[in-house]
A and B are shown apart, each in its own frame.
Chain A
Amino acid sequence: MLVVLALTVAGCSSTKSTYHYQWNLFFQSIFSPDGQILGGLWLTVIISIIAQVIGVILGVFAALGKMSKVLPIRWFANIYIWFFRGTPLVVQLMFFFFGLSVAKIYTWPDLTLGPLTIDGPIQAGIFALGLNEGAYMAEIVRAGILAVDPGQMEAARALGMTPGKAMRRIVLPQAARVIIPPLGNEFNNMLKTTSLLFVLSVVELYETFNIKQGQFFAPFEFFLAAAVWYLLLTTIWGVIQSWIERRLARGTPGAQAAGPSLTARLIGLRNNSGNQAR
């Protein structure tokens, strides 16, 4: 991003640019955002949270399914993971919304929860994001479970716990320590990936700015402002994530040292999150 900025600035000074900068639009978007921007921001955050929660739940089930002793369950889990990791999210979004609704398989009617109405594209978007995320979480959860000493499962079972209870009470809480750092990275990705919902015309943060830049013909100012908002979201999340990880390391003595520092996380984390190409 900085490179682009530097190039742009360099470009401006060398050649006479015809682009008329409207910096007030940029600063307004940042310092006194209007209702549309705040609405988009809210939608991005809420969609990210719900999709991530769905992803974690599906990820746990898919991980358990992958490790099941029952062959058809293993197949089912593997096919799920294979499909969602092997196809682009955009295709999944379009298929689940347009594909299903045009074929009249499911038309995504508005969902009304008290005063809140959630329209079809948002539902479909959350659904596809959650399913997609579950496939990635499955591997993370599985790695977490495998990292727990098998002696833990045995001790729990020797005490008379059923395998399910032993998994829930003993193994998963310990796996959580291993799962939470990559889960934080997944959520960081999720905050940004929600921007793809523009293909369903969901007016989340990105689409809000996309509409604005069209109205004012100020793509430079508005997309820069969008970038700043996303940076703000991911930075705040980075701070929360470090805090959670520090607490986690404190709560359970013997835990390995806390994860990367906040700065390392913000700058370097995409290298090891491993699934940015969706």
Chain B
Amino acid sequence: MNDGDQSTNLLEAIGGAPPAESANIVEVTDIHKFFGHNEVLKGVSMTVKQREVVVVCGPSGSGKTTFIRCVNHLEKIQSGSVKVNGHLIGYREENGKLVSDKERNIAHQRREIGMVFQRFNLFPHKTALGNIIEAPIQVRGTSEDEAIEMGRKLLARVGLAHKEDAYPAQLSGGQQQRVAIARALAMRPAVMLFDEPTSALDPEMIGEVLEVMKELAREGMTMIVVSHEMGFAREVADRVVMMDEGLIIEEGTPEVFFTNPQQERTKSFLSKIL
């Protein structure tokens, strides 16, 4: 992914790549997650280096969404730890023990983690531009002028300069998802998480969203992408990870993963989606 000279369109709009404070942007260590008695994540670990793009796939119910939500602590974990850019997420270390952090601190930590949802979750009462500038102004304390300038640049870079005053309901799914990506980027995150960003879209709109994501990957954004878009994975992923029943059962470079999977379950899964 390190095409140093590639145009830095999207990241340029937010003032360049966000500073990395740690070589491993994401460090997930042996996390366990229960919903009631149902253990949904059974000890998942993952390390993502700066500029790395990891694609996560796996059958429905295998815990992909839950995993990605644990990374920014939208779900509490019962054991293990998550570090993003060197900081523990959701927990503090006190005398060698992990204790739950305050909401305010967790909110602070989430500024480093961009998230794009399957169903966009744009704010319907705000325009496209309003969606993008909301968090920089409210959370980062960016001045309104500065936020608007950045917001307009971002909108232009995702091909929606002409839609800044449109409300989400006036945009197509593909356009909404591009605004959602711009909204997450506006916080200058160290990592971007995507949970099946194209699976709620009509087929003809998938391409435009994937294009933006590929561009982002080429520019060196660190990304974890839950997706079954194998073309995307082949093109930009450094690693593909297979989850099944709450565990990572296989991972590898796209070449190896797609051409020579080791696990039976991976083979049968791939045969279904390819």
A residues near B (Cβ < 8 Å) are 149, 151-152, 154-163, 165, 169-170, 173-174, 252-254
Contact = CB atoms under 8 A, between A and B. Distances in A.
Given A157-B107, A160-B187, A151 B74 contact: no
B167 A254 contact: yes
Contacts of B110: 157-160
A174 B125 CA distance: 7
Interface of B: 72, 74, 103-104, 107-108, 110-111, 113-115, 117, 119, 121-125, 134-135, 138-140, 167-170, 183-184, 187
A149 B119 CA distance: 11
A91 to B, nearest CB: 40
Given A162-B103, A163-B103, A165-B138, A157 B74 contact: yes
A156 B125 CA distance: 13
Contacts of A156: 123, 135
Contacts, number: 73
B139 A155 contact: no
Contacts of B74: 154, 157-158
A174 B131 CA distance: 14
Given A254-B167, A254-B169, A160 B124 contact: no
B175 to A, nearest CB: 14
Return the 5 tightest CB-CB contacts between A and B, nearest first: A254-B169, A155-B121, A159-B135, A160-B111, A158-B115
23 contacts: A154-B74, A155-B115, A155-B122, A155-B123, A156-B135, A157-B110, A158-B113, A158-B184, A159-B111, A160-B139, A160-B187, A161-B135, A161-B139, A162-B103, A162-B104, A173-B125, A174-B123, A174-B124, A252-B125, A252-B169, A253-B167, A254-B124, A254-B167
A252 B168 CA distance: 10
A24 to B, nearest CB: 54
A252 B138 contact: no
A1 B122 CA distance: 49
User: Interface on chain A toward B: helix, strand, loop, or mixed SS?
Assistant: helix
A154 B134 CA distance: 15
Contacts of A161: 107, 135, 138-139
Contacts of A169: 134, 138
Contacts of A157: 74, 107, 110
Nearest to A176: B125
Contacts of A149: 121
A67 to B, nearest CB: 15
A165 B125 CA distance: 16
A151 B114 CA distance: 15
Contacts of A174: 123-125
Nearest to B110: A160
B18 to A, nearest CB: 13
A169 B134 CA distance: 9
Nearest to A253: B169
Contacts of A159: 110-111, 134-135, 139, 183-184, 187
Contacts of B168: 254
A170 B126 CA distance: 9
A161 B137 CA distance: 11
Contacts of B113: 158
B107 A252 contact: no
A144 B107 CA distance: 25
Contacts of B72: 158
B183 A151 contact: no
Nearest to A158: B115
Contacts of A158: 72, 74, 110, 113-115, 117, 184
B190 to A, nearest CB: 12
A154 B120 CA distance: 11
A154 B121 contact: yes
A252 B166 CA distance: 10
A163 B110 CA distance: 12
Q: Among the interface residues A155, A158, A170, which one has the most CB atoms of the partner chain B within 10 A?
A: A158
B125 A160 contact: no
Nearest to A163: B103
A159 B187 CA distance: 7
A199 B140 CA distance: 54
Nearest to A170: B123
B170 A152 contact: no
Given A157-B110, A169-B138, A253-B169, 20 more contacts: A151-B119, A151-B121, A152-B121, A154-B74, A155-B123, A158-B72, A158-B74, A159-B110, A159-B134, A159-B135, A160-B139, A160-B187, A161-B107, A162-B104, A165-B139, A174-B123, A252-B125, A252-B167, A252-B169, A254-B169
A41 B121 CA distance: 47
Given A152-B121, A155-B117, A165-B138, A160 B107 contact: yes
